[in-house]
Amino acid sequence: MTTPDASPAPSVVTRFAPSPTGELHVGGARTALFSWAYARRHGGRFLLRFEDTDQKRSSRAAEQNILRDLHWLGLEGDNEGDANAQGIPRQSERLDIYHAALAKLAAAGHTYDDDGAVRFRMGKDVSFTDAVYGDVTVPGADLEDFVIQKADGFPTFHLAVVVDDADMGVTHVIRGQEHLANTPKHAALYDALGQPRPVWCHTPSILNPDGSKMSKRDKAKAARKYLKAHPASLKDIIEQHQEAIGQISTNAHNTIQSGKVIPENKRLSPADFQTFLDGVTDAPAVAEAVARHSELSLPEINVADFQSSGYTPAVLLNYLALLGWNPGDDVERFDLDFLAAHFDFERIGKSNSKFDRDKLAAFSQDDILALEPAVWAQRLEAHFTTRFPEYVEKLGSGFPVFAAAYQERSKTLNDPSVLGRFFVEAPTAYNAKAVKKNLTKNHGEGLGNLGSLRDKLAAHDDWSAASLHALIDGAWEALGGKNMGALAQPLRVALTGAAVSPEIGPTLEILGRNETLARIDACLAAHAS
Ligand code: GLU
């Protein structure tokens, strides 16, 4: 006799259910990551849902941005349905379903009307088990009746989340620990609806190093602090902003400066800046405008900020997974496949994690160092094509040389845009120390050498790195070969404004003859006595 197979355990279904009221925050990204990983680990499904019951604050644009960021991270949902809406349910389009659930609850005596709203009756003690925080019991005396349908006919979050999770067959609810306090309500609703409860897994919070919440307010704080420390800069910033919006580009990325987190360019009035400075508003658009037109870099908070700062999804996900989860065995570096194979609830800690930007940058630097030079060059070029197109245009086929020059010194894909700025911008000022040391010292020895090198370069036919290197080598020997720096360093000052550049041959090749000679002439003119 053959025994029939035991009925299979219900397959795992997890979900990520953001409210589309803003950008995808790193905390949300980690929730999505854990939900994705748990489903993959158990061969289940990972679903997406938009919780847009707060109609005033929700927008389609926010939905699109969240999807864009999830896609960038590689966390695709398994929703089935029409491609247009990607099969992702929106709570605002499911009102009938909530009304039906409400009718059922009302018929069983669980609800009562209260000023046009509908409340759910609590009263009994509620116990549940959380995968991270363990057994929780809340005495009935501490549980108030709560609104499940607002006077406008919309369900509250509590009703919608329970009805949807039950309807979508969600078996494991993974979400931030700020929802732990809501869970007794949800447990009571499941019971009243006669639906099996899911497994709850609440994850500890991600905080700033100082223990504060990581929020978009941090950007406002940073910008306000900058404005207070540089009061004179406000006028310039406002002027530059007015100019920039005068010629607003359809591609906001074109207006981004090196190494800055500045997603959008919104139209602001001088009064907007003033109210921001006075602390009346924390408008992110003002913080972004301040950063765009000053030295300030804003702290990254959202996934898009980290992308904009030049982090790769792999590095960000790896780092986010470690904020709360610990693979054990001192493993620190891993990818999505590893998570899909190993992620579990047991190794999620209860204590909140601090977001350490230095550690993230160190992860990123390690990754960059480990890349094959050709892969690094490709990746950098792809990033620069959207973020800093002027480099791609200017460097042309010299891009890999540029990339190679900065591989060892880059922590992010943005760094070469700061380190190698001189490739796209001629120096407008010269570092005084570098000038003294390399040009004017010893009665202008460096300037003299630069002048004679200029003539040799002007007469040189083969403008390739190797040939240019040989030229400078030869000229150096002609000078008695005492000190290669006597030639290369003055040249660097002329080309970059300071004494640092990649190898001189490739640097010259990339800049090209005209630009090289023009910069030498400008430098000689600036220092002629
Ligand atoms: N929409 C809720 C939020 O963004 C999700 C809550 C849940 O995951 O149950 O916080």
* Predicted local confidence at residue 285, as pLDDT: 87
* Predicted local confidence at residue 477, as pLDDT: 78
* Predicted local confidence at residue 476, as pLDDT: 78
CA distances from 193 to 109, 123, 350, 412, 485 (A): 11, 16, 31, 51, 80
* Predicted local confidence at residue 284, as pLDDT: 84
Kindly state whether residues 48 and 117 are assigned to the same domain: yes
* Predicted local confidence at residue 8, as pLDDT: 57
Nearest CA owner, ligand 1 atom 6: 17
Task: Give the residue among 133, 127, 123, 120 at the shortest CA–CA distance from 180.
Answer: 133
The predicted model gives 208-234 an average pLDDT of 93
Kindly state whether residues 21 and 147 are assigned to the same domain: yes
* CATH code where residue 189 lies: 3.40.50.620
The predicted model gives 115-139 an average pLDDT of 97
* Predicted local confidence at residue 7, as pLDDT: 56
Reply yes or no on whether the pLDDT at 481 is more than 80: no
CA of 17 to the centre of ligand 1 (A): 5
Q: Which of 241, 271, 300 is the last residue of a domain?
A: 300
Kindly state whether residues 170 and 295 are assigned to the same domain: no
The boundaries of the domain holding residue 443 are: 432-526
The residues pairing with 121 across neighbouring beta strands, listed in sequence order, are none
- Which of 91, 179, 190 has most ligand 1 atoms within 8 Å of its beta carbon, as the pocket-test mutant? 179
**49 in contact with ligand 1, CB cutoff 6 A:** no
Residue 178 CA, closest ligand 1 atom number: 10
Q: Which range, of 157-166, 491-500, 517-526, averages the lowest pLDDT?
A: 491-500
* Predicted local confidence at residue 255, as pLDDT: 38
Annotate 468-493 with three-state secondary structure.
HHHHHHHHHHHCCCCCCHHHHHHHHH
Residue 447: pLDDT band with limits 50, 70, 90:
very high
CA of 212 to the centre of ligand 1 (A): 21
Q: Is residue 90 part of a domain?
A: yes
**175 in contact with ligand 1, CB cutoff 6 A:** yes
When divided into structural domains, the chain yields a total of: 3
Residue 244: pLDDT band with limits 50, 70, 90:
confident
- Which of 157, 171, 197 has most ligand 1 atoms within 8 Å of its beta carbon, as the pocket-test mutant? 157
List, for residues 359-386, the tens digit of each pLDDT value.
999 999 999 999 999 999 999 999 999 9
Q: Is residue 457 part of a domain?
A: yes
Q: Which of 300, 332, 351 is the last residue of a domain?
A: 300
Kindly state whether residues 117 and 244 are assigned to the same domain: no
Kindly state whether residues 94 and 160 are assigned to the same domain: yes
Nearest CA owner, ligand 1 atom 3: 18
CA of 19 to the centre of ligand 1 (A): 7
* Predicted local confidence at residue 142, as pLDDT: 95
Given CA atoms 487, 489, 490, 492 in this order, what sign does their dihedral have? positive
The residues pairing with 147 across neighbouring beta strands, listed in sequence order, are 119
Residue 28 CA, closest ligand 1 atom number: 4
Q: Which of 178, 207, 236 is the last residue of a domain?
A: 207
Look up the pTM and report it: 0.88
**246 against 274, higher pLDDT:** 274
Kindly state whether residues 241 and 181 are assigned to the same domain: no
Q: Is residue 341 part of a domain?
A: no
List, for residues 418-441, the tens digit of each pLDDT value.
999 999 999 999 999 999 999 999
Residue 16 CA, closest ligand 1 atom number: 8
The predicted model gives 276-291 an average pLDDT of 91
Kindly state whether residues 36 and 182 are assigned to the same domain: yes
Task: Give the residue among 529, 469, 523 at the shortest CA–CA distance from 493.
Answer: 523
Residue 5: pLDDT band with limits 50, 70, 90:
low
Kindly state whether residues 168 and 227 are assigned to the same domain: no
Q: Is residue 86 part of a domain?
A: yes
Whole-number Å distance between alpha carbons of 46 and 78? 5
CA of 404 to the centre of ligand 1 (A): 44
**198 in contact with ligand 1, CB cutoff 6 A:** no
CB atoms within 10 A of CB 499: 20
List, for residues 150-206, the tens digit of each pLDDT value.
999 999 999 999 999 999 999 999 999 999 999 999 999 999 999 999 999 999 999
Q: Is residue 350 part of a domain?
A: no
Q: Which range, of 4-8, 110-114, 257-261, averages the lowest pLDDT?
A: 257-261
**18 in contact with ligand 1, CB cutoff 6 A:** yes
User: Are the C-beta atoms of residues 282 and 301 closer than 8 Å to each other?
Assistant: no
* Predicted local confidence at residue 377, as pLDDT: 97
**20 in contact with ligand 1, CB cutoff 6 A:** no
Kindly state whether residues 194 and 98 are assigned to the same domain: yes
Q: Is residue 407 part of a domain?
A: no
* CATH code where residue 476 lies: 1.10.10.350
Reply yes or no on whether the pLDDT at 84 is more than 80: no
Task: Give the residue among 406, 12, 393 at the shortest CA–CA distance from 171.
Answer: 12
Nearest CA owner, ligand 1 atom 5: 17
Helix and strand totals (H; E) in the chain = 23, 11
Reply yes or no on whether the pLDDT at 251 is more than 50: no
List, for residues 380-427, the tens digit of each pLDDT value.
999 999 999 999 999 988 899 899 989 999 999 999 999 999 999 999
Three-class SS state of 206: strand
320: Cα separation from own chain's centroid:
11
Q: Is residue 69 part of a domain?
A: yes
Q: What is the mean pLDDT of the chain?
A: 91
Whole-number Å distance between alpha carbons of 458 and 186? 78
Q: Is residue 81 part of a domain?
A: yes
Residue 473: pLDDT band with limits 50, 70, 90:
confident
CA of 286 to the centre of ligand 1 (A): 28
Residue 265: pLDDT band with limits 50, 70, 90:
low
